Every structure is written in structure tokens, then in C-alpha cells.
Amino acid sequence: MREQDFLQKLKSVPFSFHPVLIGIGDDAAVIGDDVVVTTDTLVDGVHFSRSYFSPEQIGKKAVEVNVSDVLAMGGIPTYLVLSVSVPTTVNEHYLLRFYEGVKEACSKYGIALVGGDTSKAPHDFSITITLLGTVIKEELLLCSGAQVGDVIAVSGELGASAVGLELLQGTLRLPFPESDIQWLKNMHLEPIAQFETGRFLAQSGMVHALTDVSDGIASDMRKITTNSRVSAVLDFTKIPVFSTVQKAMSIMKKPLWQSGVFGGEEYEFLFTVGKEQFSPLEQAAKMKGILLTEIGFVDAGEDGRVYVEENSGEKKEFTAMGFDHFAKN
């Protein structure tokens, strides 16, 4: 079973009779009239490694990834609850440095750290954050709003985090200047929620469906198509990849788009917008220094499939996935 299949099954479980506006399956839940709720668990060896992440970087990442989920709903983050499970290999000094990273990221977004829990762990250091936010109805963004004929677009440039991870793990060597190597590593070590871009897209009133690029376009596109009951046709050659990443992929003799399609951990936004509205949205974004790139279109078909447009103009089903916690990645 894949992660998305598991989440689809959970939707049918009647957890409560309390009113829920948006429940399982999106980037976050919406309860009441305007409260956004998201949670993430980060585990050593899965989401980070203490061998190359500093404790401050782990703390900041834990906050940033949750902020991105709230932004992906069109919301603004407000209150944070933090729980940690601590093995004996993590001492008090390390833990305090971790909390410094958490506090720095919270201060950046004006988030109040209001509580949590601590527990002893037998093996791995793990962190669970629950982040609350607010959203107004006119700015609420969902994965389920894509419409046939929509343009599929992505913000920013992609791919650096995936290459940076390979460098950090020692599975890749590149004949690049040390400044470029460190930049690639930092793109993985210090992900940043795209606050200005998220707020711009939410306030535009033009976006039909949106999610953040956390698991790679291959997986995140299916999140939109599955929830919207449509299919998607992508042109991988249009996916915006950093020039440094393009050079790295060329050296590795891999397609230039591969790190953007499978990499994830980017926290840019993948979204759909009406065909006639994309150009004015793109121009308005450009004036704010935000890059938006058209990479495909929404097609008919309620099965959530993703297709790739080939040079011949024909489309071929794309079955490969990005990161999936339930799969062998």
C-alpha cells in the first residue's frame, strides 16, 4: 500500500461528529470557520540525520515544513505545539540548541510556541509538531479544486535539495567550486517555507488547486489529481531547475528534470489555474520577484493518473512516484 492509498482509506473512518470543513487528504485540516491544523513527525534517519544536520537546523526545519503546509492551505501560521522523543545519545546541550532553532523559526513568522511534551526514546530522536493557523474563506486553497483545461504551474526553481542530499550522504562528488557545493548542501539542510509566494497565490483569487512540493512533483501532482478526480499531462522539459542542478545532472548523465520530479523537500508550490488567468497571474508574480512556470495542463479522467507529453505530441502514462513513506524509495 502506498501512503496516498492509506490516506484515502482513512477518509472513510468516522472519527468524530464535530464539524470539519476540510479533513484528511489535503496539506492541512480546516476546522470551525477559520482554523488550519497540520502536524508532522520528523525522525532521525528518515527526515534528517544528526551526522550532518546541526541541532539548530533540525529545529528550524521542523517548523519550516509545517509552515509550508499552512501556507499551502492559504493560511497564516499562529500557534505551535512541539513534542520530542529523546534518546540517551542526545544530551541537554544538544536539545537546547535544537530549541534555539525552533525559536528562531517561530520568531521569523510570529508563531507562538504554546506547549508540547517530552519523552524518553529507546533509539531515534524524533520530533512532532502541530501547527495552527488562520485562513479566511476567500483565500482557502485546496488540492481538490483542479478543473479540466487548467494550466499546471510551479513556483520557483527545483532540484537543489535532492542533489544536496546526495552530496551530504557522500554518494555524489561534483567538480564544482566549494561555494556551489555548500549552497547545494544548504538547500537541503535549511529548507525555507515560501511565505511571500504562498500569500501571493492565496490572495490572487485565481488559483484552483494547490499543494507544496514536499515529496517531488511525481507524488505531489497525484495529490491534486486524485483529490480533484482529474488527470494531468506534464511536460518535464518545462520544469524549472536551478542552473547549478542542471550542470550536476548533466555530469551524472541523468535527465535535467529528474531531481525536480522525484526530489521533493523544495517547499515551492504546485498549483492549477484557469488557462486565461495564468498569464496575468504570472505577470503579477513577476512584479513581486516571484517566478511561476507553466509545466502542463489538467485533462479529463477521474482516476488521478499523470501523463507525460512526449516530443511527438502524444502522451504516455507516468507511473513512477516521488518519495513515499510506505514504499521502497
- When pLDDT is averaged across residues 166-187 and rounded to a whole number, the result is 96
Q: pLDDT tens for residues 271-299?
A: 999 999 999 999 999 999 999 999 999 99
109: part of which helix (H) or strand (E)? helix 92-109
Round the average pLDDT of the chain to a whole number and report it.
89
Q: Is the pLDDT of residue 326 over 50?
A: no
Same domain, 199 and 77: no
Q: Is the pLDDT of residue 307 over 80?
A: yes
Q: pLDDT tens for residues 133-144?
A: 999 999 999 999
Closest alpha carbon to 74 in 192, 207, 191: 207
Give the percent of the chain with pLDDT over 90. 74
- When pLDDT is averaged across residues 260-269 and rounded to a whole number, the result is 91
Same domain, 245 and 285: yes
Q: Within a domain: residue 144?
A: no
What local confidence, expressed as pLDDT, does residue 293 receive?
A: 98
Q: Within a domain: residue 116?
A: yes
Query: For residue 207, what are the domain limits?
Result: 151-317
Relative orientation angle of helices 217-228 and 3-10, to the nearest 10 degrees: 30
Q: What is the CA radius of gyration of the chain?
A: 20
Q: Is the pLDDT of residue 1 over 70?
A: no
Same domain, 124 and 155: no
Instruction: Single out the residue in 139, 159, 189 at which a domain terminates.
Output: 139
Which of 32-36, 196-200, 232-236, 269-273 shows the lowest per-residue confidence on average (mean pLDDT)? 32-36
- Asked if 197 and 269 count as a contact pair (C-beta separation under 8 A), the reply is yes
Sequence-ordered list of residues with C-beta below 8 angstroms from that of 217, at least 6 positions apart, any chain? 154, 158, 234, 239, 260, 261, 270, 295, 322
Q: Based on the structure, what is the number of domains in the chain? A: 2
Sequence-ordered list of residues with C-beta below 8 angstroms from that of 285, at least 6 positions apart, any chain? 155, 197, 200, 291, 292
- When pLDDT is averaged across residues 54-69 and rounded to a whole number, the result is 96
Residue 30 — pLDDT band, cuts 50, 70, 90? confident
- When pLDDT is averaged across residues 105-133 and rounded to a whole number, the result is 92
Same domain, 110 and 203: no
What local confidence, expressed as pLDDT, does residue 4 receive?
A: 55
Q: Within a domain: residue 132?
A: yes
- When pLDDT is averaged across residues 102-111 and rounded to a whole number, the result is 97
Distance CA 329, CA 327 (A): 6
Residue 25 — pLDDT band, cuts 50, 70, 90? low
What CATH code is carried by the domain that includes residue 186?
Answer: 3.90.650.10
Same domain, 21 and 125: yes
Same domain, 173 and 290: yes
What local confidence, expressed as pLDDT, does residue 324 receive?
A: 42
SS3 216: coil
What local confidence, expressed as pLDDT, does residue 18 receive?
A: 58
Q: pLDDT tens for residues 64-97?
A: 999 999 999 999 999 999 999 999 889 999 999 9
Q: pLDDT tens for residues 211-251?
A: 999 989 999 999 999 999 999 999 999 999 999 999 999 99
Closest alpha carbon to 152 in 88, 238, 29: 238
What local confidence, expressed as pLDDT, does residue 100 receive?
A: 96
Q: Is the pLDDT of residue 312 over 60?
A: yes
Q: Within a domain: residue 328?
A: no
